Structure formats: C-alpha cells, structure tokens
Amino acid sequence: MEQDLTETEIRTLRDFKIQLFDTYWDKFPTFYLHVLPHPNLEMGKRGLVGNEKESGVVLAFGSTAVRDISSQLDYLYAELQFGFSWEKLIIPWDAVFRIYDKAQNSITQLKVLADELDFSKSEAAPKKSEKKKETIESKVIEVDFTARKKE
C-alpha cells in the first residue's frame, strides 16, 4: 500500500504526525505512543523485548518519564525512563501507529509506512526456537500435589 503514496503524501503524513505529537505534548500531561517494529527504530540498550518484536511497544510520555526530546523531520529523539534506567530512543515517524491520552478521550490511529518490513521473516521466528531450547535446558522441578495424604 505504501507504493500508492507519493513522496509528497509521505512527507505530509510525517508532518501530520509531528504536529499531532506536538499537540499532545502541549495539551496532555501524560499520553502514549504505540510504535510498531521498524528497521530504523532504536530503543537504547533495552531494545524490543518479548511480544514487542511483533506487536510493537507503547511508550509513555509525560513530564516525569521524559528527560530530553527533539522532533526531527523523519524521527523523534527522546530519552525515556524504563524502570530506573534511562534509554535513548530514535522513533521513526513512519513507525508511529497510535497516539492517545491517558484517559483515552482522544485516540488517533495512523498509517504506518512499513515498506521496508517483511513480517514473514521477522526476528520472531528464530526467537521461538530459542525459547524451546531454553525450556529444554531449564531445570524445572514439577511437583504433583494431587496424591498428597491429608492427616
């Protein structure tokens, strides 16, 4: 579907996402950005974990969760807090899927430009085989309490 968009339309969509983000930043104390996996998405040392590699990640933006933020033409740079550590993120505007406020009074779903992505060859497939190896190698003791005598 991305082939249907001209360069001007792609630039217009990115500009709209920038303006929408700026509006949320100015009007809401806390809001969320749902970002889908993208080759140019950088999540600091943390990266995408678990199901985030397939479904993306929801990032919280607010005065206490953001240390540095800079909006560029093609991406958003931000330092966000995950637990007690700060991570530097580069979020391509093409990967921004949803933006909504904390009370979900305002929700916007946007077109994601994923022409570079091939979900059939995502990193999720190798991870599933690794997960099976971890299960086989782990030493879990299963206890059956059904045959326990009551005294």
Q: Is residue 147 part of a domain?
A: no
Rounded-to-integer distance, Cα 9 and Cα 12, Å: 5
pLDDT tens track for 95-119: 999 999 988 888 888 888 865 444 4
Asked whether residue 10 is assigned to any structural domain, the reply reads yes
Question: Is 81 within a domain?
Answer: yes
Which class for 39: exposed (0-12), middle (13-18), buried (19 or more C-beta within 10 A)?
exposed
**Which residues are within 8 A (CB) of 28 and not within 5 positions of it... i.e. 6 or more apart?**
101, 102, 106
Q: Using the structure block, give the residue that is written with the tokens 């093409």.
A: 94
Is 89's pLDDT higher than 90? yes
Q: How many domains is the chain partitioned into structurally?
A: 1
Give the E-state strand segments of the chain in sequence order: 30-35, 42-43, 57-62, 66-71, 75-82, 85-92, 96-101, 107-109
**Considering the entire predicted model, what is its pTM?**
0.70
Is residue 64, in this structure, part of any structural domain at all? yes
In a domain, 96, yes or no: yes
Report in angstroms the alpha-carbon separations of 31 from 68, 143, 149, 151: 16, 45, 54, 56
98 within a domain of the structure (yes/no): yes
Lowest-pLDDT range, 5-19, 58-72, 128-142?
128-142
In a domain, 130, yes or no: no
Per the domain annotation, does 128 fall within a domain? no
The SS3 call for residue 26 is: helix
Q: Which of 22-31, 102-111, 126-135 has the lowest mean pLDDT?
A: 126-135
Sign of torsion over alpha carbons 37, 38, 43, 46:
positive
Phi first, then psi, for residue 116 (nearest 5°) are -85, -10
CATH of the domain at 61: 2.30.30.220
Q: What is the extent of the structural domain holding 98?
A: 2-118
C-beta separation of 53 from 103 below 8 A: no
